[in-house]
Amino acid sequence: MEQLGAALRAWRDRLDPATVGFAHGSPRRVPGLRRAELATLAGISVEYVVRLEQGRVATPSAQVCSALARALHLSDDEHAHLLRMAGHAADPTRVPRLIPGSLYRITDQLSANPLAIYDATWQLLHWNPLFAATFGDPTVDGAGERNVLVRQFLAELPRVRQTAAERAEFEESLVADLRGTTSRYPDDPDLPALVARLNLSPRFRELWNRRAVGGHQSAYKLVEHPDVGEIALTSDILTTQDTNLRLVVNTPQPGTDARGKLELLAAIGVQRMSPQK
């Protein structure tokens, strides 16, 4: 792990503290971020940063690597290099679930809108506070329930109100999208279990047996929020080329009061809002 430690020190030294919100304040003996500042940005302890830089951590988790990559403003190539040094080389047979730093930076610029990142199976990986305030806090559910297909076919309906036609179109596109994912990642060990679970739904079985392949695209959403009422949104889906991650950005429908309601939700925060229904 000496290479990893040396790389972390070099990346930390090159980053201007002012660009990540730390005032220069007292004179610094060395350029770049202090270890304590990196720890704060990455959400880990200073002691853990020290151990990483000294090569005393056998295998830092992929989540820690991603947090460090974001804190250090690494490029996607540098993030991938960090993962390889930490023993997390990408497996081309598995559905990618690691979010590159560049995608996090895009989400930071779109924070005025409810947004989330999903993998190619529509498993929820990341969301911003406004997404939680609008659609309900995903942490209320276990990780296995944070899948769009599971929620649509097996769980209670989310806050989104759908007409029969909208529901049918949404379900058809989701299943066709999942069918495409199974062909792109035929050896992923988790996909068969997901499909088997979804087959408990007669509606899913019907659509799955059609063997249609397609992509789930943008959609209109009418959210029935328990605190602010109806919110009319358009969901646009941006798919990354190499990893098939899906960034879903929900923007207000023109001519509605959705923007004002989103601003209210952002001001109040998820803490005072009702849990996911």
Confidence category of residue 111, pLDDT binned at 50, 70, 90 = very high
Same domain? For 166 and 193 the reply is yes
Give yes or no for a contact between 248 and 236, defined as CB atoms under 8 angstroms apart.
yes
Q: Does residue 70 share a domain with residue 8?
A: yes
* Backbone phi, psi, residue 247, to 5°: -95, 115
User: Where a domain ends, among 27, 54, 85?
Assistant: 85
Question: β-strand 229-239 against 219-225: which pairing, if any?
Answer: antiparallel
Q: Please, are residues 59 and 86 in contact by the beta-carbon 8 Å criterion?
A: yes
172-198, pLDDT tens digit by residue?
999 999 999 998 898 999 999 999 999
Name 5's Cβ contacts closer than 8 Å, sequence gap at least 6: 52, 53, 54, 55
CB 223 within 8 A of CB 233: yes
Summarised one tens digit per residue, pLDDT across range 41-96 is 999 999 999 999 999 988 899 889 989 999 999 887 788 888 888 988 766 788 99
Please tell me whether residues 165 and 63 are part of one structural domain.
no
Candidates 114, 115, 95; CA nearest to 103 is 115
* Residues sharing a CB contact under 8 Å with residue 198, sequence separation 6 or more, in sequence order: 149, 150, 153, 154, 204, 208
Q: How confident is the model at residue 277 (pLDDT cuts 50, 70, 90)?
A: very low
For the chain, the domain total comes to 2
- We report the CATH number of the domain holding residue 15 as 1.10.260.40
Q: How confident is the model at residue 170 (pLDDT cuts 50, 70, 90)?
A: very high
Q: Identify whether residues 51 and 125 lie together within a single domain.
A: no
Band of residue 24 on the pLDDT scale cut at 50, 70, 90: low
User: 35 is in which domain, residue-wise?
Assistant: 2-85
Q: What is the mean pLDDT of residues 224-244?
A: 93
Query: Phi and psi at residue 249, in whole multiples of 5°?
Result: -110, 125
Mean pLDDT taken over the chain: 89
Q: Which helix (H) or strand (E) holds 207?
A: helix 202-208
With CA atoms as reference, report the closest residue to 172 among 142, 216, 132, 115: 216
Confidence of residue 217 (pLDDT cuts 50, 70, 90): confident
Last residue of a domain, one of 50, 85, 120: 85
* Whole-number CA gyration radius for the chain: 21
Burial of 183: CB neighbours in 10 Å, binned 0-12, 13-18, 19+? exposed
My answer on whether 73 and 126 are in the same domain is no
Element housing 219 (H / E): strand 219-225
**Model-wide pTM > 0.95:** no
Q: Which of 136 and 215 is assigned the larger pLDDT? A: 136
Give yes or no: residues 52 and 106 share one domain: no
Non-local (6+) Cβ contacts of 151 within 8 A are 145, 158
188 lies in some domain:
yes
* Helices 191-198 and 164-184, axial angle in degrees (round to 10): 150
Cβ proximity of 233 and 114 under 8 Å = yes
Distance CA 270, CA 145 (A): 20
Whether residues 49 and 150 share a domain: the answer is: no
Torsion on CA atoms 59, 64, 66, 69, rounded to nearest 10: -90
The verdict on 191 and 267 lying in the same domain is: yes
Separation between Cα atoms, residue 139 and residue 276, nearest integer Å:
9
pLDDT greater at residue 117 or residue 18: 117
